[in-house]
A and B are shown apart, each in its own frame.
Chain A
Amino acid sequence: MLTGAFEVIWYIAASFLISLFAIPFGLLTKGIDRKLAAHMQWRVGPPVWQPFWDVKKLFQKETIVPEDAISWLYNAAPILCLASTVTILLYIPLGPFPPILEGHGDVILILYLLTIPSLAMVAGGFASSSPFASVGAQREMVLMMSYEFPLAATVIALVWKISSLYPQEAAFSLTAFARHPIWNIMGPFGIVGAIVLLIVLLLVTTGEITKVPFDIAEAETEIAEGVFVEYSGRNLGLFYLADAVKTVVMSALIVAIFFPYNLSPLLTPNISIPSWGWAIVDFLFFLLKLEIVIFFCMTFIRVSVARFRVDQVVKVYWGYLTLASLLALILIALDVML
C-alpha cells in the first residue's frame, strides 16, 4: 500500500513515463500513417521518422504571437491541449498494464476529458484573432457537439450489457471491459449491435482526431489550417504532439473497449518464458492492435473519401451515426432481455 507522498511521486513519475511512451509512439504512428497513405495514393511518401524531424524543426523555429491576440490564452492553449491529452492516457489500460489512475475515474470521466483538447483548440483559435481561426474554432465546436452523442451512446450500450450480467462490477471502469470482453458475453443480437457500435466508434475517432473527411476545423484548402493558422514554432509543435498523442488515446480506448485480449493466456501452456517476458509480448501485441485500429479509423478512411462540408458532417454524426448507435442500443437491449 502506497502512502500519500509516495503515491504522488509515483503518479508524477508515471505521467513522465506515459509521455515518454505516448509521444514517440504517436509520432511513429503518424509516420506509419503517412507512409501507408502514400503507398495507397500511388506515391512513395516520406520516411516513417519524418514526424520526429518535423517536430524538431518546429521547436527550433521562432514562435510568433499575432499583435491582436490574447497572448496568455494563445500561448496556454497548446500546453493545455497536450497536457489534457496525456492525462486521458493515465485512465486507459495499456495492454497488460492496468491504468495508472485505476479506481480514480471511469469511462464517463474519459468522455469528459476528451472534450478538453478540443476546447483548448477552440480557445487558441479564438484567441489568435484571425478570421480563419475563428471559422475554424466555430467548426471545431460544431464537430465536438456532433460526435459527442454517438460516442456516449456507444459506451452506455456496452456498459448496460456488462452491468446486467455482472451487477457486482463497477461497470463503468475500463478494467470491467478487460475482465469481460464484450464479444464473449454477447448473444447473436448483441454481436450485431457491437459490430455496429465498433464502426460508429471508428468513425467518431476519425472526427476526434480531425482527419479527412471530418477535418473541417483545419481544412487546409478552405480556411488554411483553421484554428492553427496563426500558430508557429513551439506552439504549433505542441499542438502537433497533442494530435499524435490523441491518436494513441483514441485507438487505445477502442482497443480497451472492444479488443482487451492478450496473447499470454493463449500461449502460456505451450511456451514458457518469465512473466516480464510475457508483459513485453503482450505490450507489443497491444501496439500492433493500436496500429491496426489506427489504420482503419484514420489511414484507410482519409485516403478513400473527400472532405465533407460542415452541414454534411453534422448530418453524418447526428443523423446516420446517431441512428446507427440507437439501433445498436436496441439490439443490445433485445440481447439483454432475451
Chain B
Amino acid sequence: MSEHTYSIPVGPLHPAIHEPITLKIDVEGEEIVGVDVFCSQVHRGIEWLGMNRNNPIQNIYLAERVCGICNVCHPFCMVQAVEDASGIYPPERADYIRAIMAELERIHSHLLWAGVAAHEIGFDTVFHYTWALREKVMDLIEYLTGNRVTKAIMMVGGVRRDISEEGKKKIKEGMQYYLEKFAKIEDIYLNDPTIKMRTRDIGVLTREDALRLCAVGPLARASGVPKDVRQDFPYGAYADYGVKAITPDTYNGEIHADVFDRIIVRLLEVKQSVDIIKWAVDNLPSGPILAEKNLVKLKMLLKKAEGEGIGRVEAPRGEDIHYVRLEKGKDPYLSWKIRAPTYNNVLPWIPMLLGGQIADVPIVAASTDPCMSCLNRVTVVDEKGRKYEITKEYMHELSVKKTRRLMRNANRSF
C-alpha cells in the first residue's frame, strides 16, 4: 500500500448496496487498487430453524423468506430436494404451474434489477419507468397466487393453487403486454448513449475468471459461459421445452463480458421467460395439482421418509442448490443446506472492480444482482479485538435478561 492510497469503506450500510455487506476499497485518486469483501452481517439462522424447529411443510414457507425476491426459487428448490428424498413426485400439471411461477418471478426480478441498475448510475427516469412496467407482472402474480411478494404456491408433491381458464387468459394478456413493451425497454437500455457510456467495458469478468470463480447465472452467461440449470439439468416442465442458455453473442455476435452484456442477457431472458410462459400455458396438461391432497397424511409420509435429496433451480440470479436429508420419525430435517447464487457471485467482484473507478462500484456490484441475506452463513462479532460467534444459547440468554429487565421495570411502575 503506497502512501497515496487510502481506503474507503463501502458498507455495511451504503446507498449503493441495499443490504449489509462491507467492501473495503483501496483507492489512488479515483482508481481502485485493492478490494476486499467482508460478508456475514445479516445471518438469520434459517437453516438452523429448518433443522430444529419446523416440520417440512412449515419449512416451505420458511424457505420463501430466504430471499424476498427469489421466493419461488428457494421453496421450489427445497421441495425438489424433499421430493427427491421422499419419493413423492408431483403430477405433470403441477410441474407446468411451477415453471410458469418461476418464469413470472424471473420477469419481475430482472425488471426490478434493471430499475435498480439505472438508479445506481443516476438515471432515475428509467428506474421509475421500469418499475412502473413491473407492476403488471406483480398484479398477475397477485391474481394467480393471492400475494404480490411471498407467493406461497409450492407444496411437497405439487402446487397449492390451480390456474383456471380465466387465469390462462390473464396470463396471455400480460405476456402480450410485455411483448409490446419489450421494444421500448430494449430501446431504452441498449440504445441510450449515457447508459452505454457508464456500462460498456466496465466491470469486465473474463471467461477464465468466471469459470475459475464458479460464477453462476446471468453473470456467467454474460462472460460467455453458456451455463443454465434449465438447459444443463432440466427439471419440471423445462425438459419438455428445451431452454437454451442466453449469451450476449446471440444479440450482437460479440462478448465483452462487461456490465452492458449483463443488461443484454437479462433483457433477453425476460423475453425468453415470456416465450416459456406462453408455451406452458398453451400446453398445460390436465390432471391433479397435488400428489397428496391431505396435508396430515403428507406430513406423516414425510415423517416416515428417510434419505437425502438435492434440488437445483435456475433462480433469476443463478443456480440455487438445496440439500435435504430426512430421518425416519423426526419432523425437522436432519440436515438442510442452502447454496444461494450470490454465494458464488460475490468473489467475482474483486477482478471486476480492480482497475476501475469509485464511480463504477455501485453498478458493478449491482450487476451481479447481489442478495446478501441469502448468502450469509454465520455472524462473527468483532468487539474490540474479541471475536465470537453469536450462538442460539447466547441469544437465549440475552432475551431472558431483557425479559427480566422488562418485568422489573413493569413492577416498578405499578
The residues of A with any CB-CB pair to B shorter than 8 Å are: 40-43, 131-132, 134-135, 138, 212-213, 215-216, 219-224, 303-312
A307 touching B121 in the complex, CB below 8 Å, given contacts A131-B6, A224-B14: yes
The reply to whether B16 and A221 form a contact with Cβ atoms under 8 Å apart is yes
Are A303 and B124 in touch, CB under 8 angstroms?
yes
For the A-B complex, the count of residue pairs with Cβ-Cβ distances under 8 Å equals 82
Q: How far is the CB of A307 from chain B (nearest CB, A)?
A: 3
Measured CA separation A308–B29 after assembly (Å): 17
Contact partner, A309, options B29, B128, B357, Cβ 8 Å: B357
30 contacts between A and B (CB under 8 A): A40-B125, A41-B128, A41-B129, A135-B27, A135-B358, A138-B29, A212-B124, A213-B122, A213-B194, A219-B122, A221-B16, A221-B119, A221-B121, A222-B16, A222-B358, A222-B359, A224-B14, A224-B15, A306-B122, A306-B123, A306-B192, A306-B194, A306-B195, A306-B197, A308-B194, A309-B359, A310-B30, A311-B30, A311-B357, A312-B197
- Given known pairs A131-B8, A306-B194, A308-B197, the reply for A221 and B360 (CB within 8 Å) is no
Is residue B132 contacting chain A, with contact meaning CB distance below 8 A?
Answer: yes
Neighbour of A131 across the interface among B9, B119, B197, CB < 8 A: B9
- Which residue of the partner chain A has the closest CB to B361? A222
Tell me which residues from 9 to 51 in chain B have a Cβ below 8 Å from any Cβ of chain A. Answer: 9, 14-16, 27, 29-30
**Cα-based distance from A131 to B29 in the complex (angstroms):** 11
Report whether A132 and B357 are in contact in the complex, using a CB–CB cutoff of 8 Å. Answer: no
Besides A219-B359, A221-B362, 10 more A-B contacts (Cβ < 8 Å) are A40-B125, A41-B128, A131-B6, A135-B8, A135-B30, A221-B121, A304-B125, A309-B198, A309-B360, A312-B197
Tell me, yes or no, whether B54 is within 8 Å of chain A by CB: no
Question: Given the complex, which residues of A lie within 8 Å of B357, measured CB to CB?
Answer: 309-311
Chain A residues in 8 Å Cβ range of B6: 131, 134
Docked complex Cα distance between A38 and B88 (Å): 52
Within 8 A of A (CB), among B117-138: 118-126, 128-129, 132
Q: Nearest B residue to A220 by beta-carbon distance?
A: B15
Most-contacted residue by chain A among B9, B27, B121 (CB, 10 A): B121
Q: State how many angstroms separate the Cβ of B399 from the closest Cβ of chain A.
A: 32
Residues of B within 8 A of A310 (CB): 30, 357, 359
Cα-based distance from A213 to B197 in the complex (angstroms)? 12
Chain B, Cβ-Cβ closest to A43: B128
Q: Of all chain B residues, which has the CB nearest A135?
A: B358
Chain A neighbourhood of B128, CB < 8 A: 41-43
B122→A212 contact, CB < 8 A: yes
Are A307 and B123 in contact (CB-based, < 8 A)? Answer: yes
Is B7 an interface position by the 8 A CB rule?
Answer: yes
- Return B193 CB to nearest CB of chain A, in Å: 8
Number of residues in B with C-beta < 8 Å to the partner? 33
Q: Which residues of B contact A306 (CB under 8 A)?
A: 118, 121-123, 126, 192, 194-195, 197-198
Nearest to A40 among chain B residues (CB) is: B125
A residues near B29, Cβ cutoff 8 Å: 138
| CA gap between A161 and B263 in the complex, in Å | 50
Cα distance A222–B23 in the bound complex, in angstroms: 13
B residues near A215, Cβ cutoff 8 Å:
122
Closest to A223 in B: B358
Residues on the B chain within 8 Å of A41, using CB:
124-125, 128-129
Contact residues in A for B125 (Cβ distance below 8 Å): 40-41, 303-304
B126 to A, closest residue via Cβ: A306
Q: Which residues of chain B are within 8 angstroms of A312 by Cβ–Cβ distance?
A: 197
B129 near A42 (CB under 8 angstroms)?
yes
- List the A residue with the shortest CB-CB distance to B25: A131
Contacts of B194 in A (CB 8 A): 213, 305-306, 308
B residues near A135, Cβ cutoff 8 Å: 8, 27, 30, 358
Chain B residues lying within 8 Å of A222, measured Cβ to Cβ, are 16, 358-359, 361-362
- Which residues of chain B come closer than 8 Å to A224, judged between CB atoms? 14-15
Q: Are B8 and A221 touching (Cβ within 8 A)?
A: no
Nearest CB of A to B119, in Å: 7
| B16 CB contacts on chain A under 8 angstroms | 221-222
Q: How far is the CA of A310 from the CA of B118 in the complex (A)?
A: 18
A43 to B357, CA, bound (A): 32
List the A residue with the shortest CB-CB distance to B29. Answer: A138
- B7 to A131, Cβ gap below 8 A? yes
Chain A residues positioned under 8 Å from B126 (CB to CB): 306
CA distance A219 to B8 in the complex (A): 15
A311 contacts across to B, CB distance below 8 A: 30, 357
Smallest CB separation, A242 vs chain B (Å): 22
B118 nearest CB neighbor, chain A only: A306
Q: A307 contacts which chain B residues (CB < 8 A)?
A: 121-123, 198, 359
Which B residues, 86 to 136, have Cβ-Cβ distances below 8 Å to chain A?
Answer: 118-126, 128-129, 132
Taking CB atoms, residues of chain B closer than 8 Å to A221 are: 15-16, 119-122, 362
Q: Which residue of B lies closest to A313 (CB)?
A: B359
The minimal Cβ–Cβ distance linking A232 to chain B, given in whole angstroms, is 16
- Contacting residues, chain B, for A303 (C-beta < 8 A): 124-125
How far is the CB of A210 from the nearest CB of chain B, in Å? 12
Chain A residues contacting B192 (CB-CB under 8 Å) are 306
Beta-carbon contacts of B343-382 to A below 8 Å, as 1s and 0s? 0000000000000011111100000000000000000000
Give the CA-CA distance A131 to B194 in the complex, in Å: 27
A220 and B15 alpha carbons, distance in the complex (Å): 7
Shortest Cβ-Cβ A-B pairs, 7 listed: A307-B122, A306-B123, A306-B194, A309-B359, A41-B128, A306-B121, A305-B194
Closest residue on chain A to residue B7 by CB atoms: A131
Please give, as numbers and ranges, the residues of chain A lying within 8 Å of B362 by CB-CB distance: 221-222
Residues of chain B within 8 A (CB-CB) of A213 are: 122, 194
Min C-beta distance of B222 to chain A, whole Å: 20
Residue numbers in A under 8 Å from B8 (CB-CB):
131-132, 135, 223
Nearest B residue to A304 by beta-carbon distance? B125
A225 to B29 Cα, complex, angstroms: 18
CA distance A215 to B361 in the complex (A): 16
Q: What CA separation (Å) do A257 and B198 show in the bound complex?
A: 34
- Shortest CB distance B339–A (Å): 29
Chain A residues near B360 (CB-CB < 8 A): 309
Give the distance to chain B from A318, nearest Cβ to Cβ, in Å: 16
| Nearest CB of B to A68, in Å | 14
Contact B198 A216 (CB under 8 A): no
